Amino acid sequence: MKKIEHIGIAVNDLETSNLIFEKLLGAAPYKFEEVESEGVTTSFFNVGPNKIELLAATNTDSPIAKFIAKKGEGIHHIAFDVEDIVLEIARLKEEGFVVLNEVPKKGADNKLVAFLHPKSTNGVLIELCQEIR
């Protein structure tokens, strides 16, 4: 694992939260991206070598809609940058973690992503991401 790539924050309304985080971080998002397969619309902020990803749901089945209904807005996941996502999935599976998608899928910001179930990681949803080169 190379570094924390981003921290994902679940929000009700992307536009409202963009203004809050723009004020907080002193810079506007560098990217907006809808990821239809995940039912989310996102914005990305740079914070030094790491990023903040704001996520709002685009439908009621979205993991973000379900999360907010249960827990309210807040930190949704931590994403780690990995060199080789296929190897990392195999290693973590071997270690007993519950991998939610064993085949990496296309995420936001030019990344292949995979998730670990929060029940196997002390209640924290973990995302692995590898840059598509």
Interface residues toward ligand MC0, by CB under 6 A: 8, 35, 38, 40, 42, 53, 55, 63-64, 66-67, 70, 76-77, 79, 100, 107-108, 111, 113, 115, 117-118, 123, 125, 127
Q: Which stretch binds Co ion (CB under 5 A): 21-29, 33-41, 75-83, 95-103?
A: 75-83
Q: Which has the closest alpha carbon to 30: 52, 5, 3?
A: 52
Token digits for 61? 């089945």
d(CA 53, CA 107): 12
Q: Which has the closest alpha carbon to 65: 34, 38, 45?
A: 38
Give me the least distance between CB of 56 and ligand MC0, in Å please.
11
Report the residue count for the chain: 133
- 8 interacts with Co ion by CB under 5 A: yes
Q: How many CB atoms lie within 10 A of CB 54?
A: 26
Nearer to ligand MC0, 68 or 83 (CB): 68
Nearer to ligand MC0, 70 or 133 (CB): 70
**Structural contact between residues 56 and 9, judged by C-beta atoms closer than 8 angstroms:** no
Give me the least distance between CB of 90 and Co ion, in Å please.
21
Nearer to ligand MC0, 91 or 119 (CB): 119
